Structure 1
């Protein structure tokens, strides 16, 4: 889940930058091409709809519904609608009117009126209030004083601050935006290569949806019907692995090619400056530690942890903001929380319809038996999924990708004795990687748009090509951690058991 306004800005930027007609107005409404694509899409939808009501096998009808969903997505129909409409038609085709009526009465309530999902608005609200209080800026400044002595110290600071902010917020876009606004100008003023500066900001967002509280892990738990608390704890060690691997890569680059990352002034910070920064840094790690520690110790349920974190964020903001500023921050955070969580709930509703239909069609069981007949091993299946998600990530945002694929792929993964908790971490990490994958990696466009602000870039020219080049820094880290998880799956559930 991303902060709604930032997500909208990122998608608009992505659309404008990625469109081959950007700046030229696109095809004219009267041209043949303007109507050819939707007309062809409508024709395909009619054919697929016809096929669903023919005497074909249930698996074939399931495949037809999935193709119908993909066509609707291609035609830019909202994701929730693109999932719900083929699913409802498919349930009627497979089971008839009475089961469809029962589904329509049951699913809208059961899919979103879940006690475990009540943690979602609290985690989103917690992150928004911490940003409003200025805690993110103080955390970054303090981390710079403590880590500036390292080779590539400012880049490492950005990465470590990203891990710290991930433990206080479930928004990758929000973390990247906050760190980019603070970190990019600092690194450029220190003489850092612009691609390394951009890459360190992109790397900093990678752990954002693995270290609790993670909105994507909560969404996955809702789709996969697993407990939210254990799923959140399953992301801790992989998230820390991503942060450590990212920091190690940045230090290695600075050692091998020091001209890319000159030593910054903050490397000469005195011990008194460092210790004086601790008070400003403390609120974020302290609150995050209490939330995660309470989950680990069994003091909190996931919902109680979310409520505690939201209350703690409000108290931190109350201490640091004036009354009028606090009122504005609360109002803004509440509006954005309601808007963002409402979007997610609508998506979960569409996913629930599609999941019910897929289970009814028997498509997952057919795929499991097909893979078994082909002799595909567990490792081969997971490596194949890495390629599939990398391709899908170039065209879908993370929440849509999770909602579209988990109902189909999780039963297959369970057929290979893959734990649902492990699979959730695996899918979310791939979703994070997809956020920087060209041509539609949302984070890349967020960073590019941010870098056009003269206050951020100074007199340095930053093009979209530079951001995509910087995204290469993310690939080796993410793929290395993914391979570690594939070959050492027990790492995911160390804190859960």
Structure 2
């Protein structure tokens, strides 16, 4: 069967199974089975043997052990008063910056992302405190909700990132280097967001309330004290990884231990909290591992069909420039992000996208950062932009207004992506030092 015919068969099966509301992992498996049965005429016994080997090998990767442990660490912190401490600690520090407390969204998400690894958890944890406080004090609703929607995506980009672990396993690249590659672009995005807030506060009357009290130096020092627990946790986790003292999985275990100690020292520890956080971790981890296993089987089916090689050769024969290849992939990810979540998008596309970008001359570590930013964009695009729905629940305003509020920060993410393409060393400089 030709490339075009095989691609049409695969796309039709994906539209049928995923469009019918089948669970994504089950849909991917059915597409793989259908592709091998229809396109290659494999019998069911042979397909079962392939599935058993692929799924068993994909489920025992040591790097995947970091995922449930990081999820557990983030969920423990989510159940504490860290969000209140973040707001109390950052409020006096940012009070003298134009835009005032609006910066608590950006800086708070940047800090929390360094211990969460999840965009949704970052948005919900920071937003449950900052949004009510900002609105109560008279800050602009659009800036308050839009900045949180955009900054909440830092949970994917700033390490430790679950999305980067999944990409690293699928693309077979160093997760430590991926973590290092995401740090500078993540800080760049935070700088762009805060810069935008500063500019808007100058040109738009009412963006922040008038006569806001400026904190004293003593109040700033007290604010730093509130930030100590989360900063210690962040430094221990990231410091142990970048120093080479621990693998990401080992650093995640250290993070869980420190997170539990924080709950003990702050008087928030309980057996119920630990059990509840474990149950949440099991559910989320099982979902992710099922997706990875299903995607690995689908990738194997594609490999038997020679689809990745044929697609790579077909695009190479189009004589597109490397930027042209990136534009095609970016448009594909933005469209996909309107309908499926970032994890599913990653596991479905990496087997085909990585050979393409290597053929085009891009570093796979750099592409990991590019892909994560594409997933960040998908978190801000309806109808499946989860950050938008979290914001809608926090602000109780319509989805249309929430989308409009997030639009400037969506465009800033696009600007950051352009800077990453023009200056690839933004992502590659720090990994080059490891």
The TM-score range, normalised by the shorter chain, is: over 0.9
1:199 pairs, out of 138, 146, 150, with 146
1:84 pairs, out of 29, 33, 51, with 29
| 63 and 420 in structure 1: CA distance in 2 versus 1, 3 angstrom threshold | farther
Does the alignment pair 1:411 with 2:355?
yes
The 2-side partners of 1:264 and 1:207 are apart by 31
Aligned residue number for residue 485 of structure 1:
420
The answer to whether the 8 A contact 1:62-1:90 is kept is no
Aligned residue number for residue 18 of structure 2:
73
Does the alignment pair 1:443 with 2:387?
yes
Q: Any idea what SS the aligned residue of 2:270 has? A: helix
Aligned residue number for residue 17 of structure 1:
none
**C-alpha deviation, 1:60, in angstroms:** 3.1
| 388 and 451 in structure 1: CA distance in 2 versus 1, 3 angstrom threshold | same
**C-alpha deviation, 1:126, in angstroms:** 0.8
The 2-side partners of 1:263 and 1:94 are apart by 69
| 59 and 231 in structure 1: CA distance in 2 versus 1, 3 angstrom threshold | farther
Aligned residue number for residue 420 of structure 1:
364
1:293 pairs, out of 239, 243, 257, with 239
- RMSD of the TM alignment (CA)? 1.8
Q: Any idea what SS the aligned residue of 1:260 has? A: coil
The 2-side partners of 1:80 and 1:448 are apart by 28
Q: Any idea what SS the aligned residue of 2:297 has? A: helix
The 2-side partners of 1:263 and 1:181 are apart by 24
1:114 pairs, out of 55, 61, 81, with 61
| 70 and 419 in structure 1: CA distance in 2 versus 1, 3 angstrom threshold | farther
1:400 pairs, out of 323, 334, 344, with 344
The 1-side partners of 2:338 and 2:318 are apart by 28
- In the TM superposition, what are the counterparts of 1:172-251 in structure 2 within 5 Å? 172-251=119-198
The 2-side partners of 1:155 and 1:276 are apart by 20
Does the alignment pair 1:359 with 2:313?
no
**C-alpha deviation, 1:67, in angstroms:** 2.8
- In the TM superposition, what are the counterparts of 1:273-422 in structure 2 within 5 Å? 273-322=219-268, 325-422=269-366
Aligned residue number for residue 61 of structure 1:
6
The 2-side partners of 1:264 and 1:227 are apart by 50
The 2-side partners of 1:482 and 1:219 are apart by 21
TM-score, normalised relative to structure 1: 0.83
- For structure 1, the residue ranges without an aligned partner over 5 or more in a row are 1-55, 453-461
| 264 and 369 in structure 1: CA distance in 2 versus 1, 3 angstrom threshold | farther
| 370 and 57 in structure 1: CA distance in 2 versus 1, 3 angstrom threshold | closer
- For structure 2, the residue ranges without an aligned partner over 5 or more in a row are none
The answer to whether the 8 A contact 1:152-1:263 is kept is no
**C-alpha deviation, 1:58, in angstroms:** 6.1
The answer to whether the 8 A contact 2:90-2:224 is kept is no
- In the TM superposition, what are the counterparts of 1:257-276 in structure 2 within 5 Å? 257-263=204-210, 265=212, 267-276=213-222
Once the two structures are superposed, residues 274-314 of structure 1 have per-residue CA deviations (whole angstroms, 9 ceiling, x without a partner) of 21222221111221122112211111111111111111111
TM-score, normalised relative to structure 2: 0.94
